[in-house]
Amino acid sequence: MTGGAGRVAVIGAGPGGLYFAALARQSAPGREITVFERDGRDDEFGFGVVFSDETLDGIAQADPRVFAAMSAEFARWSDIDVRHAGQVRTCGGHGFAALDRNRLRAILQRRCAELAVDVRYRTPAPPVGRLAEEYDLVVAADGVNSATRTAYPDAFRPELDERPSRYMWLATDKVFDAFTFIVERFDFGVLQVHAYPYSAERSTFIVELAEEPWRRAGFEALAARGFARGESDTASVRRCAELLAGHLEGHRLIPNASRWIRFTTVRNARWRHRNLVLLGDAAHTAHFSIGSGTKLALEDALALAASLGEQPTLEGALAAYEAERRPVVESAQRAAQASLEWFETIGRRTGQGPDQFAFNLLTRSRRVTYGNLRARDPGFVAAVDTAVTGAPEAIGTPPMFRPLKLAALELRNRVVVPPLATFTAVDALPSAFDRAQLTAHALGGAGLVIAGMTAVTPEGRATDRCPGLWSDPQEAAWRELVDAVRAVSDTPLGIQLTHAGRRASRAVPGPDGTGPPLAEGGWPVLAASPLPWDAGGPLPHEANAVQLDSVTADFAASAERAARAGFDVLELQFGHGHLLSGFLSPLTNRRTDGYGGPLAQRLRLPLEVLAAVRAVWPAGRPLLVRISACDWAPGGTGEAEAVAICRALADGGADAVDVSTGEVVAHQRPPYGRGYQTPFAELVRAATGLPTVAVGAISHHDDADSVLLAGRADLVAVGRAHLYDPLWTLHAAAEQGYAGPGAHRPEPWAAGSRRPPGPGSDRVAPRLRLVREPAPPVHRRWRPGPADRPVPARNPEEER
């Protein structure tokens, strides 16, 4: 038999296990499939589950009978309501389909019966080792607390990330007519609800609080007693009903084994072991705020059944299944992680107005963006634009092309080209390539271009190919470069000053971003503490008092030179493991004098440098500071210290903070991904009021627009994308159809303001339908029964 699986055991008769059993039997009628389930056939667990159109298309193709049965019972709608600060904002055009989980199980049970799958209810699965001996394949669909995964930890290598927030899964007999987010601030903190309809009689109603508000609200005491399996925390349910009575409008909250739990993100290094394979929540989980675990489980089931049919061996089939599904799941988990962290920290955003807050919530996972929403519901985005800017004329101007005043400097747009080291300097002088790169970026449309990494002393260079600004020849070279750029562009120019600290005296980095220590011609390395950057690095000298005074003076002297050279903006590098970053991080500062120990003392040298630079840097020219807001290593700088650092920088005269993370220690483990550092810019901005620059894997204009309109940052730094395309900003304007003052295109390039035509761009599609299909409505509410049809949404203007 294809896939080598003639006899199959399935552990768990949830939707994922049943759907796999049906598909696997359907594709190979001779296959013997036994499903073990400890609960009864008619036992009911859970409430509604939501499906995407993509998943439904797969079900329709794989088993039209199952799809038809599901479709007959779907609740369908396209609107999302965000209830916040006593107001409602509605965004349409999304498209949802939901179904009672227990009805879904009944549909799949019936399908398994039609296909003669042996489903054994109230029959706990035998030990998985015995099943593996008796069956060709064992599919573990046994949920988030999978006994199969627990039995083979060395094979699957699970990682269980239990989150701090508490949530309770409930239903209500209030039938919401759209996906509804409720965000209420009480004296104990913020409480949020995720609610959506799933039948003509009920809606799912998930209540969630962060740990501290949960305790202060009194839920800890109510949840303290033990609960039997299947028992609900009825006291907490009553308390939730009281708190949310205004939204329930006299309707009930309905529990089903409902109690406070923490969400656990499940990841496994491997999903298969010999003839065992994990499916659904046993293999992975994704936070409920981005969709349904049932959705992922059904997709797993389809992929596993298909792989068994396509591959000649069981080993090949299981490998193909994991290879196909893992990238999909990891993508979903990245979005889910961003979403759950957004809700965990929701309190930092509730001060926003209802329009911006709704936009922020909708774009929280980074999957939904400014461009998505403008395509789905242009009226919603226009309302947010108007509310955020206070100017109707802002409609049509993408957020990235709106001006910003930073100190006394007017920036034409919000795009920054950050310091991008070329490693082409000779004798610490900026090279011809530096000039070419800065000129290209200045012509490319960004609002600000910053040169770097520029050392304040010879020993402060990261490599022997880095430029400096400690001598008259260097100052003259930079002045000449600035004048050359200004001859063709009026884009403001900045320069980043740094002392590389323990990251100094290394070779030019390779593709991995790190370079080995210089074998010859190196120089003594200065640091907060005598800790090498990595195992092969030189041992730094712990800076003494005289050297610390000298460092402060060196930064001030270089700042004066930068001003005379004509730079509009100055940035100080206090992050990325360079010298001043080394003083800030508890991982790299082990000093016992007045420059080490508690944060106030670790801040001492950075603040002395900032004060000295502020004293000589011209008033009105912006002074930025780059920090690493998180070390991505245990015991390192965290959110609370990052906020304290930035408050101190604000008090010391910084005009904005360039909020980066990491590169402080070599053993860091950052969760790389699109916009992964942006939440730290949002944290600093909300906590301190300082303008922030968001950095890190922002490479598409849609992401930049989303960050800015959501209020997560004031500026976005786009680095590698500008190396790929020095005209990134101008091209972003063309792609968005924008030609206003925020995207200055040099007159000689005016003819290139539109994307050149490519193959097929001149083809016009013929009409092939006698009767045109109407465009789907932007707003659709759930109206159960025969009258289920698109209906107008409530008028957002009446709710303002």
The 8-class DSSP code of residue 424 comes to -
In the prediction, which pLDDT does 101 show?
95
On whether the CB atoms of residues 35 and 124 are closer than 8 A, the answer is: no
The runs of H, that is alpha helices, within 146-227 are 147-151, 153-156, 211-216, 219-222
Averaged pLDDT of the chain: 94
3-state secondary structure of 127: coil
- 760 vs 140, which has greater pLDDT? 140
Q: How far is CA 783 from the centre of its chain?
A: 34
Cα 681 to Cα 95, 398, 598, 657, 692: the distances in Å are 32, 20, 24, 8, 6
Q: Please, what is the angle between helix 64-71 and helix 101-114, to 10°?
A: 150
Q: Supply 785's token pair.
A: 């029964």
CA–CA gap between residue 796 and residue 83 (Å, rounded): 12
Cα 23 to Cα 27, 59, 280, 577, 592: the distances in Å are 6, 10, 15, 54, 66
On whether the CB atoms of residues 98 and 48 are closer than 8 A, the answer is: yes
- Mean pLDDT for the stretch of residues 606-623: 98
Angle at 194 between CA 38 and CA 50, to 5 degrees: 55
- 517 vs 438, which has greater pLDDT? 438
CA–CA gap between residue 495 and residue 585 (Å, rounded): 24
CA–CA gap between residue 380 and residue 693 (Å, rounded): 26
- Mean pLDDT for the stretch of residues 472-488: 98
Is the pLDDT assigned to residue 799 strictly greater than 80?
Answer: no
- Mean pLDDT for the stretch of residues 341-346: 96
On whether the CB atoms of residues 501 and 528 are closer than 8 A, the answer is: yes
CA–CA gap between residue 762 and residue 88 (Å, rounded): 44
Computed on alpha carbons and rounded to an integer, the radius of gyration of the chain in Å comes to 30
CA–CA gap between residue 143 and residue 150 (Å, rounded): 11
Give Cβ neighbours of residue 193 (< 8 Å, ≥ 6 apart).
Answer: 180, 181, 182, 183, 205, 206, 207, 208, 244, 247
- 496 vs 511, which has greater pLDDT? 496
* DSSP labels, 248-315: HTTPPEE-SS---B--EEEEES-SEETTEEE-GGGT----GGG--HHHHHHHHHHHHHHHHHH-SSHH
Angle at 532 between CA 526 and CA 533, to 5 degrees: 100
Is the pLDDT assigned to residue 219 strictly greater than 50?
Answer: yes
- Mean pLDDT for the stretch of residues 773-797: 66
Q: Which range, of 10-19, 131-140, 759-768, averages the lowest pLDDT?
A: 759-768
Return the percentage of the chain with pLDDT > 70, whole number. Answer: 98
Is the pLDDT assigned to residue 790 strictly greater than 90?
Answer: no
3-state secondary structure of 632: coil
Residue type, 317: A
- Mean pLDDT for the stretch of residues 74-80: 95
Model pLDDT for residues 411-429, shown as the tens digit of each residue: 999 999 999 999 999 999 9
Residue with tokens 């499916």: 279
Residue type, 409: L
CA–CA gap between residue 453 and residue 501 (Å, rounded): 13
In the prediction, which pLDDT does 3 show?
65
Confidence band for 792, pLDDT divided at 50, 70 and 90: very low
Residue with tokens 């759950």: 340
In the prediction, which pLDDT does 74 show?
95
In the prediction, which pLDDT does 791 show?
40
On whether the CB atoms of residues 781 and 789 are closer than 8 A, the answer is: no
CA–CA gap between residue 551 and residue 270 (Å, rounded): 50
Q: Supply 420's token pair.
A: 């991008």
Residue 106's CB is within 10 A of a number of other CB atoms, namely: 17
In the prediction, which pLDDT does 789 show?
43
Q: List phi, psi (to 5°) of 128.
A: -65, -30
Is the pLDDT assigned to residue 795 strictly greater than 50?
Answer: no
CA–CA gap between residue 57 and residue 51 (Å, rounded): 10
In the prediction, which pLDDT does 794 show?
40
Model pLDDT for residues 1-55, shown as the tens digit of each residue: 566 789 999 999 999 999 999 999 999 999 999 999 999 999 888 899 998 888 8
Q: How far is CA 493 from the centre of its chain?
A: 30
On whether the CB atoms of residues 260 and 223 are closer than 8 A, the answer is: yes
CA–CA gap between residue 444 and residue 271 (Å, rounded): 47
Confidence band for 581, pLDDT divided at 50, 70 and 90: very high
- Mean pLDDT for the stretch of residues 402-406: 96
Confidence band for 588, pLDDT divided at 50, 70 and 90: very high
Task: Write out the H or E segment, with its range, that includes residue 371.
Answer: helix 370-376
Confidence band for 770, pLDDT divided at 50, 70 and 90: confident
Q: List phi, psi (to 5°) of 272.
A: -135, 150
Task: Write out the H or E segment, with its range, that includes residue 705.
Answer: helix 701-709
CA–CA gap between residue 318 and residue 443 (Å, rounded): 52
Is the pLDDT assigned to residue 786 strictly greater than 70?
Answer: no
Partnered with residue 120 across adjacent β-strands are: 36
Return the percentage of the chain with pLDDT > 90, whole number. Answer: 87
pTM, whole model, 2 decimals?
0.93
- Mean pLDDT for the stretch of residues 348-353: 94
Is the pLDDT assigned to residue 179 strictly greater than 90?
Answer: yes
Residue type, 585: S
Model pLDDT for residues 715-751, shown as the tens digit of each residue: 999 999 999 999 999 999 999 999 999 999 999 998 8
Buried b (16+ CB within 10 A) or exposed e, 43-76: eeebbbbbbeeebbebbeebbeebbebbeebbbb
- Mean pLDDT for the stretch of residues 758-762: 83
Residue with tokens 């323990």: 502
